[in-house]
Structure 1
Amino acid sequence: MDAEGITEYDVVIVGGGPVGLLMAYQLRRFGVSVCVLEQHEKESQDAYGRAIALFPRTTEQLDQLDLIEPMLQLGFACRTSVTYKDGERVIPGRVWTFMENIKDTTYDFTLVLRQMYTEEIFREKLESVGASYYQAMQCIDFEVDETASSGQYAVTSTFEDKRSGEKKQLRSKYIVGADGGRSFVRRHAGIPFDGDTSEDKWIRIDGIVETDMPLNRSYGAIESKTHGNVLWAPLDHGATRIGFAYSPEMAAKYPDGVTQEVAEQEAVLGMHPFSVKFKEVHWWTLYTIGQRMARTFTTKNTRVLLCGDAAHTHSSGAAQGLNTGIHDAVNLGWKLALHIRGLALPAVLDTYSPERRTAVQQLIDYDKDISILMSHKWPSWYAGDRDADPYLLLGEIFEKAASFNTGLGISYPLNNLNRSPSSLTTQLAITPGSRPPDVDLYMPGTNQKIRFQRVTRNCGKFWVVVWVGNLASTRQSLATLRSFLDGPGHDLLGHGAIDWLTISPTPGCSPFEALGGMRPFGNMYFDLASYAHEKFGVEDQKGAIAILRPDGLLATAGPLAGAWVNNYFASVLTRIEPMTEWSSSDSGVSV
C-alpha cells in the first residue's frame, strides 16, 4: 500500500473466470504480486454450463503447471466418438473422430469437465499460492500513465463493489483484461474488436438423461437436417450436453421466445430417431454465432493486455474456446512475470500479441466454415454440388484440422524467441516454435520412468537441455562446454530465468560416472535405447543443446557449445552480455 492508501500490485486482472484465474496463479507462482477481481458472485452465476472440453495440448500445459490432477479426479476422459445418420452409425465417423487417433502424448483423450468445476479448482490453487481474489467487484475505470518507466505503477484502476456500492482504487504496473467477450478493459482501452456476428443461433442444454442411443458415453455427432449437426457430449458426473442449431424455422414455432421447456423439447426432436428423456436439467443457453478478434492483444506501451474471450470470440463448434484462452494465459504468464522481475528484455513480452493472434486467426478462419456447416448450410466459397451433404465436407475439415483441434500441432512462427539456429537445426525432428515430443526418460538409480514434460515443467524459466551423444564422440565438446560455463564472465548457470538438464543415452550407477567423471549440467536423466534422442533427431556422434521456452515449446537448438547459447540468451534476457567474437571450434558455426 502506498502513501495515499491505494493498494499496489504488479498486475491487476479483471475477470475471475478460468483464464483470469490461470493467469493469476501463474504470475504468483512465478514470483509476481497479483490481484483478481470478478464482477459476478460465482455462487449465483450459472452453476454449470459454458466450456466443457479440454484437448491434449491444454491438459499438457495444465500438467506442467501442477493443475491437472484434481481435474482428472472430476472429469470424464473421452477417447471414443460416434456419428449417427438416420439412426444408423456412420463408419468411419465424422467430426469428432480425431479423438480416437491422438498419438505421442500421455493425454490421449479429451478431458470433459464443466467450467464450474475447472474454476473451483483454479480458485483453490490460486488461494494456495497466496494471490488476492475478490468477487462482485466491477471495473468502472482505469487510467494509464504512458510516460511511466518500466518498473513504475503506471495503471490506476477503479472498482465498484456491486453489493455495497463502495469504490476501491488499485495501482499496478499492468492490467490484464480477462473479462469476456463484452470486455470493459478492451472497450475502455479503445482496442477495436474486428469481425462479425452471424444470424445463426445455437442451443446448448446440460443434464441427466435417459436414452436408447447405443454409444451414449462417446462424443457424438447426430446428423440432422432440421437441427444441424447435433452435439452429444458426455459430461462429468454422468451428465450429458446436447447442442443443436436454432434455425429460423424453429424460431417461427416459438413467437414468445425460448424457454427451458422449448430447449428440452427441441433437444428431444433433434435426437430423433433415438429417444431422450431429461431426468434433470442443469443449465441451458441460446446464443448467437460470431467470430471476432481484438486488433491487438496489447496496448498503451503494453500496460494493457487481453486474454481469452476479451481478445477473441468464436463458436463452440470445435470446442476450442477455453482451450484457446488457456493457451493465451500460458503464453503470456511467463513472459509478463520475467519482464516484471527484470529478467527478460521487452522484446520477449512483445511476442505475446503476434504469436497468439496468429493462432487465433487460424481458429477463426476454420471456425467460420464449421459453424456454417454444422448449421446444415454451405459456406459462401463452396462451388460444389449444393444438393450434396454438407456434413461430408464438415468431416473432411475436421480431419484436416486434427492436429490443430488437439492443440498438439499448434506452433508459432520464427521471431525473437523462436530462432533458426545453426546448421544442426535441419537435422532435428522439431522446429522452433513447436511442441517437442513427450518422451520417457529414466531416473538415475531407480530407473523409474519420468516424462520429459514433467522434468521440464513450467516454473517460469527457460530449459537448456544438453543431449549427450556417444560419450567417446562428444566428451571433448562436453568438457569444453563445462569449461566455458564455469569460466569468468558468464551467468548462464546461475541466472534466475534459466534451468539446465542433461540427458544421456548411456546409463550408469551415478550421473557423474555415466559422464566419465564429469558433472552433469543440472539434473540428469537417462535415455535408455536412445529412443528420446531418436524422437528429437539428435545425432549420436554430435549430441546437441535444445533450449525450451518456459511454456515447453522449442526456442532454438544447436551444437554442444556455450557461446551460441550465451548469445541467444543475451538477446532475450537481461544480465547476459553478448559475445562479439568466439571461435568456430567452440560455437560449431563459422563467424
Structure 2
Amino acid sequence: MTRDSRWVEGDFDETKTDVLVVGAGPVGLITAYQLARFGGLSVRIIEKHTKSIQDTYGRAITLFPRTSELLDQLGLADELLQEAFACRETVAYNSRGEEVHGRGWSFMNQMKDTAFDFALVLRQKYQEEIFRNALRRYGVEVEAPVELIGVNVDDTAITSSSHPVAATVQDTKTSNRKIIRCRCLVGADGGRSSVRRLLAIPFEGSTTEDRWVRIDGHVKTNLPKPCTYCSIESPTHGNVLWVGLDRGATRIGYAFTDDRANAYAEFNEQAAVAEAIAAVKPFTLDFERVDWWTIYTVGQRIAKRFSVGDRVFLVGDACHTHSSGAAQGMNTGIHDAVNLGWKLSLVLRGLAPSALLKTYEKERRPNVQKLIQYDMNISRLMNNRLPEGWRGDPDADVNEILGQVLEEAGTFSSGLGISYEPLLDNPLVRASSSSSTLKPGMRAPDIYLLRPGTFDRTRLIRETPNVGCFYTVFFTGESLQTLSEAGLREVEQSRLLKGYIKSQCLTYLTILATKRPSVYGSLGRAYIDIEDRSGYQRYGVDPDQGCVFVIRPDGWICAVIPLDMNVKHELEALFEGILFESSQHQKQRATLDCLKL
C-alpha cells in the first residue's frame, strides 16, 4: 500500500536523490551538511521562504557548550567563533536595579568540564550563512523558494536502495511543480511543518496565553554590565532578558501582557521600543537602531511520532516546540540533527541495518519531554506566575523560584548532562560492569592530550571528528602491557573488526598515561595524557588497570570495557549488534561455513 498525504496528481518532471531535507534553517542545514560531509549519498535541501532582512536577523542566538562541542566535531566551531560573542558572565538585577546572586542565568557560570565554557552568542542569520557556506563546499546549494506541497510514501518498497518517497514541490515564484523521489525525507521545516501536516502526524500539547516580545538592535544604556547574559526582575514586564549579541548589538525580551497590548491601538516597532525602555527600568535605554523585533506565543508541543516507516523523519521544531525561555530551541534541534545524521548515513550507505534508525526517537524523545517540562515552568515564572500545580508557598518570590529551576536544569540546559538511558533494544547504549564513573549513554568528556614526539596539546574532540565512524579508545595505563600482548594481537587480528575499519565505520585510538619517546605498538593513533593525568581521572581509569571506551560518532559513550575482559570478543559482539559485516568478511565467513560442511 502507499501512504497518501494530499498527493498532487499531475505529469511533472521527476528527479531522484538519496535524501531530501525540507527546511533550510540551522537544523536542516546541519542535517544536510552531515550527510554531504560523510559522503556516499546525494543530498538536496529546499526552503519555502526567501528570507527578508527582518526575518533573518532575529530568531535563535545562543549555542550552549554541548552544542558547540557537536559543531566542533563537525568542523564548524572555528568559523562560528570568528563571528560570535563568547558570553562568560551573567548578572541579575532586582526591580530596584540592585545586583542579586543565584538568580536568572547564574547556572551559566558553572558550565565547566569543556573547552566551550561559555555561551556562544551569534544571531541565526550569521549562523545560517556559515552553515550554508560549509554545505556549499560539498556541492550542495539550498533551493529556494521551493515549497513542499505533497508527500507519498510507498510502503511496498522492500530494498534500501529504492526511492519510495515521492515529494511534490513547487517553485513559489514560477508555480512550476516537479517530483523529487528520495530514499529518505527529513522534515526540518519548523513548528508549522508541512512534512508533519502532510503526513497527518498529531502535534500534541498546548499553547498558553503567554506572549513575549523580542527586540534586537544597537543601544545606549547605563546598565552596569551590558555585555552579559542578564535578567532584570521587572514587576510589569516579567523576568526581562538582556543579552549582549554579536557585532555590538543587544537583545531585549519581555512579557507581552494584556496591559501592554491594550495600551496601543497598534503594537508596532515604535511600541516595542517604548515598552523595552519601560521594561529595563530603573536603567536607561536608548535605541540607535532596531534590527528586528517580534511578538510570539508560548507553547509546548511534541509530535506523536518522530518518523514514518524509517523513511520520513522530523527534527527540531518540526517535532517539538517550546518557548525561548531556556534558550534551548536551536540547541535541541541541532542535537536531533546530529543524533539522526550519522545513523541515516550508515543505513543508507548499506553499513548498518535499518533498525538503527529506530534509536533516533528512543534517544531523543525522553530528552525532549524533559525539556518541555522544564520549559513549562520556566516560561510561567518568566511571566511572573508560579508553575502549574505549585504546592509551595503561594506568596513565593517567582524570581527566586526561577533561579532555582534554572539551576536545577543547568547541566541539562548546557547540554553537558544530557544522556541516553540503556535499553534492551538499543545496542548503542550497552550496560557496563566497569567501575568507571562514566557509563554508556553519557557524554564522552573532552580532555586535553599531548601528541607524541612534539608533546603539543590537542583535545580529544579534535581527534575524534564526527565523520560517521565509531572510535574505540584504549586507555592502556602505564604500559602498553596492561592490555596483554595476546589480547592486543587478538584485537588487531580480528577480521571482523578489520572489516569495520576498512569500511571506515571504526577507528582506534590509544591514550597513554605518561610521556614516552616512542608510541610504537599502540592500537591506531596514539596520544598521551597531560602531566596531571586529568584525562585518566576524568574518565575514571586506574593507570594500573586501563580501560576501553567505545565512543559513538556523535560523541556519546557506547560501551565501557575493562581490560581484564576479553576485549576482542566484547568489541565484536558490540559491533555485530550495530553494523553490517563488511562484504569481504561475509564472503570469508561463507567460505569457512562451506568448508565445515
What's the TM-score once normalised by structure 2's chain length?
0.92
Say whether the 8 Å CA contact 1:87–1:274 is kept in structure 2. Answer: no
* Alignment match of 1:151 (pick from 161, 167, 188): 161
Q: Deviations over 1:345-383 (max 9, x none)?
A: 222211001211111101000000010010001222112
CA distance in 1, matches of 2:98, 2:109: 16
* Alignment match of 2:238 (pick from 220, 228, 232): 228
| CA-CA distance at 1:36 after TM superposition | 0.3
CA distance in 2, matches of 1:98, 1:484: 44
Q: Deviations over 1:75-130 (max 9, x none)?
A: 11101111111233333141211122221100010011000000011000000011
Matches within 5 A, 1:39-118: 39-43=48-52, 46-118=55-127
Q: Deviations over 1:145-190 (max 9, x none)?
A: 1111222111111111111111121110001100010000001111
CA distance in 2, matches of 1:320, 1:41: 25
Confirm or deny that 1:250 pairs with 2:260. yes
Q: Report SS of the residue matched to 2:79.
A: helix
Aligned to 2:460: 452
CA distance in 2, matches of 1:194, 1:467: 46
Counterpart code for 1:564: E
| CA-CA distance at 1:57 after TM superposition | 0.4
Aligned to 1:533: 536
Say whether the 8 Å CA contact 1:467–1:502 is kept in structure 2. Answer: yes
Q: CA RMSD in A?
A: 1.7
| CA-CA distance at 1:343 after TM superposition | 0.8
| CA-CA distance at 1:474 after TM superposition | 1.2
Aligned to 1:522: 524
Say whether the 8 Å CA contact 1:189–1:304 is kept in structure 2. Answer: no
| CA-CA distance at 1:293 after TM superposition | 0.6
CA distance in 1, matches of 2:496, 2:124: 50
| CA-CA distance at 1:318 after TM superposition | 0.6
Say whether the 8 Å CA contact 2:432–2:439 is kept in structure 1. Answer: no
The gaps in structure 2 that reach 5 residues or longer are 1-11, 587-597
Aligned to 1:564: 570
| CA-CA distance at 1:417 after TM superposition | 3.3
Does 380-389 or 164-173 show the bigger shift?
380-389
The gaps in structure 1 that reach 5 residues or longer are 513-518, 579-591
Q: Report SS of the residue matched to 1:197.
A: strand
Q: Taking structure 1 as reference, are residues 44 and 274 closer, same or farther at Cα in structure 2, changes over 3 Å only?
A: closer
Confirm or deny that 1:499 pairs with 2:507. yes
| CA-CA distance at 1:472 after TM superposition | 7.1
* Alignment match of 1:139 (pick from 128, 148, 154): 148
Aligned to 1:428: 436
| CA-CA distance at 1:253 after TM superposition | 1.3
Q: Report SS of the residue matched to 1:521.
A: coil
Say whether the 8 Å CA contact 1:76–1:236 is kept in structure 2. Answer: yes
Confirm or deny that 1:211 pairs with 2:221. yes
Aligned to 2:493: 486
| CA-CA distance at 1:225 after TM superposition | 1.2
Say whether the 8 Å CA contact 1:473–1:542 is kept in structure 2. Answer: no
CA distance in 2, matches of 1:405, 1:489: 40
Counterpart code for 2:87: C
Q: Taking structure 1 as reference, are residues 353 and 45 closer, same or farther at Cα in structure 2, changes over 3 Å only?
A: farther
Aligned to 2:303: 294
Say whether the 8 Å CA contact 1:230–1:245 is kept in structure 2. Answer: yes
Say whether the 8 Å CA contact 1:48–1:282 is kept in structure 2. Answer: yes
Aligned to 1:583: none
What's the TM-score once normalised by structure 1's chain length?
0.93
% same residue: 46
Say whether the 8 Å CA contact 2:88–2:119 is kept in structure 1. Answer: yes
Aligned to 1:169: 179
CA distance in 2, matches of 1:510, 1:169: 58
Aligned to 1:384: 392
Say whether the 8 Å CA contact 2:62–2:121 is kept in structure 1. Answer: yes
Q: Taking structure 1 as reference, are residues 145 and 434 closer, same or farther at Cα in structure 2, changes over 3 Å only?
A: same
| CA-CA distance at 1:45 after TM superposition | 6.1
Say whether the 8 Å CA contact 2:31–2:341 is kept in structure 1. Answer: yes
CA distance in 2, matches of 1:479, 1:329: 41
* Alignment match of 1:121 (pick from 105, 130, 147): 130
Counterpart code for 2:126: Y
Q: Taking structure 1 as reference, are residues 566 and 487 closer, same or farther at Cα in structure 2, changes over 3 Å only?
A: closer
Aligned to 2:293: 284
CA distance in 1, matches of 2:274, 2:410: 33
Q: Taking structure 1 as reference, are residues 188 and 450 closer, same or farther at Cα in structure 2, changes over 3 Å only?
A: same
Give the total of aligned pairs. 564
Q: Taking structure 1 as reference, are residues 370 and 472 closer, same or farther at Cα in structure 2, changes over 3 Å only?
A: closer
Does 353-362 or 523-532 show the bigger shift?
523-532
Q: Report SS of the residue matched to 1:267.
A: helix
| CA-CA distance at 1:419 after TM superposition | 3.5
Aligned to 1:312: 320
Q: Deviations over 1:218-270 (max 9, x none)?
A: 1110001110000001111100011000111222212x331111100100011
CA distance in 2, matches of 1:41, 1:571: 44
CA distance in 2, matches of 1:290, 1:5: 40
| CA-CA distance at 1:422 after TM superposition | 4.8
Aligned to 2:592: none
CA distance in 1, matches of 2:25, 2:117: 26
Aligned to 1:554: 557
Aligned to 1:190: 200
Say whether the 8 Å CA contact 1:485–1:493 is kept in structure 2. Answer: no
Counterpart code for 1:467: F
CA distance in 2, matches of 1:328, 1:431: 21
Confirm or deny that 1:340 pairs with 2:342. no
CA distance in 2, matches of 1:540, 1:323: 36
Q: Report SS of the residue matched to 1:351.
A: helix
Q: Deviations over 1:303-344 (max 9, x none)?
A: 110011101110000110100111010111101001100111
Counterpart code for 2:487: T
